[in-house]
Chain A
Amino acid sequence: MDRISRFIRRFIFNYKNAFGALSFSGYLIFRVINPFFQLVFFCTVAKYVYNTTDVTPWVIGNALTLCYFSAFYGVGQTFVSERSQGTLKAIISAPTSTIHIVLPRVLSQSVDAFVSVFVGFLAGAALFNFTMPLNTLLPSLLVITVAIFSAMGIGLLIGAFALLTRDINMLLNVASMVLIALTGSNFDVKLLPVVLQWVSYALPLTRSIQLMRLIAKGNPLSNHLNLLYGEFFLGLIFFVIGMATFHIIERLSLKHATLDLY
């Protein structure tokens, strides 16, 4: 019980830490208006290019992709922001396991990612008549949850590598744009060269986007569980590699006393 309350406390602290400094208008712009217009932009291009009034596949693709912001700029900056605030050494030397510090942060950013994705679907519904049958609500929620989990995983992995570079902004921007470009949110990944298709399937969200599009077409989730499992395990792999990378960097920096150097 004590562990749970501690976890909840850390989650609340992390949420306040991440968004407390933002004004209401700031939060509105970064988490509502920007995702809204990004989705409207790509869906309008799709509507024109593919000459269709039904932009459901693009609403789904672009709405799911919106979680990249929380994954990369929230979770991806976890360790770097601790280092810049001078608290990274406190985290490492604390008796609490790093995973217990990282997980509440991931969870708080996941809540935020849900908000962005929800805004995306809302924009789709308001401007492009996007609808999903009521019976697809639960499977869709499950797919969104797994998609966000997977995106947070890659965010954590990038966050660990971010400790090795001073150019964190470049890394995060390239990673987020690659995610928008290669996950099939705007065009079929099969159109890409084979090598880029491999990259696409090694990225989070590609499978979730495919799966949610299938669900929207009326396909039951049970027929495509491989995509859901694939996405979940991909996220898990990213989490494990991310944490392992962080521990390696942690050990190296303890040995060379370079943890706070940047």
Chain B
Amino acid sequence: MRSKFNVIIACLKQQFSQSFGRSMFRFCIFGQPIIYGLILGMMYLNRSGEEFLIYVLFGSGIVSFWSSICFSSASDINRERFMGTLESIFVAPAGFKNIIIGKIIGNTFWGLVSMIISSVFVLIVFRKPFTIDSPLLLITAFVLMTLSFIAIALFMAGLFTLSRNTRLVMNSLEHPIFLLCGIVFPIEVLPKFIQPISYLLSPTWAVKLLRLSVIGGHTNEKIFYLVGLSILTALYWILGHLLFMKIDYKARVKATLGVY
């Protein structure tokens, strides 16, 4: 257990500095939160402080957080494959999954930095007053959301290892996810037949929880979204784990892991 932890920490540290070396990642961390914060802030200028908080401050932060965790983590597999190191980390005694989790957590730290940048920018530039109904629920929702994003990143990294075509799909996923999950507007705006799809995605539940923590709501409603988010997060972890088992099997049978 301790050695597993050490592996994750070592990969986390390495990823922390390696990711920062990429200009696209730096843009995701520093540029994107500010620009999304500006666009959404200007659009929500005349809306209530609470809506501003949920959809601008949290929204622009989640947008950047999502990009830095999920897409960067999924692309890391491709980068390893391109550099010819995927096979090496796959057979390393440290454990392929542990290495990937370390990388994802490294990206999570940067994702948190991007959220902080976005929040500070929006707070300083727009100075909108707001109140938070339940800070404790806010922190809980935020922690659960982070865990859920890590699980999604693990799942996507697994998919990316198995299929080369997912790279193309991944590049077109950003805006659909922002749309489906109601990150910058309530999902009730979407057509009714699309809304069930939204509930299959954990960011939808996370945003609902964040919203409840700001505007308040019935306890049963809060528990419902907390449980829903937890179940989905657990499901993503299980799916991610199953994918890594499949990778292990396919890599041995087909021997095409490093084929670009």
Give me the interface of A with B, judged by CB distance under 8 Å: 25-26, 29-30, 33-34, 37-38, 40-41, 44-49, 167-170, 173-174, 177-178, 180-181, 186-187, 191-192
Q: Is B23 a contact of A169 with CB atoms below 8 Å?
A: yes
Q: How far is it, in angstroms, between the C-alpha of A180 and the C-alpha of B35 when the chains are bound?
A: 9
Minimum CB–CB distance for B117 against chain A, Å: 14
Please tell me if the beta carbons of B47 and A49 are within 8 angstroms of each other in the complex. yes
Question: Per-residue CB proximity of B18-60 to A under 8 Å, as 1/0?
Answer: 0000011011000110010011101111010000000000000
> Which 6 A-B pairs give the minimum distances between C-beta atoms?
A37-B175, A170-B23, A48-B185, A187-B42, A177-B35, A173-B27
Residue B1, interface by CB 8 Å: no
Which of B164-172, B226-234, B248-256 touches A? B164-172
Q: How far is the CA of A191 from the CA of B38 in the complex (A)?
A: 11
Q: Which residue of B lies closest to A32 (CB)?
A: B172
Q: Closest Cβ of chain A: how far from B77's Cβ, in Å? A: 19
The complex places the Cα of A95 from the Cα of B154 at a distance, in Å, of 54
Is A49 touching B44 in the complex (CB atoms < 8 A)? yes
Q: List residues of chain B with CB within 8 A of the CB of A170.
A: 23-24, 26-27, 31
B112 at the interface (CB under 8 A from A): no
- Of residues 171 through 186 on chain B, the ones whose CB sits less than 8 Å from some CB of chain A are 171-172, 174-176, 178-179, 184-186
Q: Complex: how many Å from CA A237 to CA B247?
A: 54
Give the distance to chain B from A56, nearest Cβ to Cβ, in Å. 16
Q: How far is the CA of A186 from the CA of B38 in the complex (A)?
A: 11
Cβ-defined partner of A181 (8 Å) among B39, B165, B186: B39
Docked CA distance A173–B184 (Å): 21
Instruction: Beyond A37-B172, A48-B185, A181-B38, list 20 extra A-B contacts (CB 8 Å).
Output: A33-B172, A34-B175, A37-B174, A38-B175, A40-B179, A41-B175, A44-B179, A44-B190, A49-B185, A167-B23, A169-B24, A170-B23, A170-B24, A170-B31, A173-B31, A177-B32, A181-B39, A187-B45, A191-B42, A192-B42
Q: How far is the CA of A192 from the CA of B186 in the complex (A)?
A: 26
In this complex, the member of A25, A37, A40, A178 whose beta carbon has the largest number of chain B beta carbons within 10 angstroms is A37
Q: With a CB–CB cut-off of 8 A, which chain B residues contact A33?
A: 172
Cβ of B189 under 8 Å from chain A = yes
Which of A29, A37, A48 is packed against the most chain B CB atoms within 10 Å?
A48
Q: A29: shortest Cβ distance to chain B, in Å? A: 5
- Min CB distance A88 to B, Å, is 21
A26 to B57, CA, bound (A): 34
Q: How far is the CA of A33 from the CA of B178 in the complex (A)?
A: 15
Residues of B at the A interface (CB closer than 8 Å) are 23-24, 26-27, 31-32, 35, 38-40, 42-45, 47, 165, 168-169, 171-172, 174-176, 178-179, 184-186, 189-190
A-B pairs with beta carbons under 8 Å apart, 16 shown: A34-B175, A38-B175, A44-B185, A44-B190, A45-B40, A45-B43, A46-B43, A47-B189, A49-B44, A168-B23, A170-B27, A173-B32, A174-B31, A178-B35, A181-B39, A187-B45
A48 touching B186 in the complex, CB below 8 Å, given contacts A181-B38, A186-B42: yes
Contact of B168 with A25 in the complex, beta carbons under 8 Å = yes
Specify which chain A residues have a CB less than 8 angstroms from the CB of B171 in the assembled complex. Answer: 29-30, 34
* Closest CB in chain A relative to B33 CB, distance in Å: 11
A37's nearest neighbour on chain B, judged by CB, is B175
CA A191 – CA B42 in complex, angstroms? 8
Name B168's contact: one of A29, A177, A178 (CB within 8 Å): A29
Q: In the bound complex, how far is the Cα of B165 from the Cα of A34, in angstroms?
A: 16
| Residue on B nearest A40 in the bound complex, by CB | B179
Give A174 to B27 CA distance when docked, in angstroms: 7
Q: Which residues of A contact B32 (CB under 8 A)?
A: 173, 177
A41 touches B178 (CB 8 A): yes
Task: List B contacts of A186 (CB < 8 A).
Answer: 39, 42-43
B47 CB contacts on chain A under 8 angstroms: 49
> Taking CB as reference atom, which chain B residue is nearest A178?
B35
State whether B168 touches A187 (Cβ < 8 A).
no
Q: Which residue of A lies closest to B176 (CB)?
A: A37
Tell me how far the C-beta of B251 lies from the nearest C-beta in chain A, rounded to whole angstroms. 25
- Listed residue (A26, A45, A170) with the most chain B CB atoms within 10 angstroms of its CB: A45
- Give bound CA distance, A181 to B39, whole Å: 6
Smallest CB gap from A46: residue in B: B43
Distance in angstroms between the alpha carbons of A41 and B186 in the assembled complex: 12
A45 near B185 with CB under 8 A, answer yes
B31 touches A45 (CB 8 A): no
Give, as a whole number of angstroms, the nearest-CB distance from B186 to chain A: 7
For A30, the chain B residues whose CB sits under 8 A away are: 171-172
Provide the bound-state CA to CA distance between A229 and B32, in Å: 32
A40 touches B27 (CB 8 A): no
Shortest Cβ gap from B177 to chain A (Å): 10
A40→B185 CA distance, assembly (Å): 13
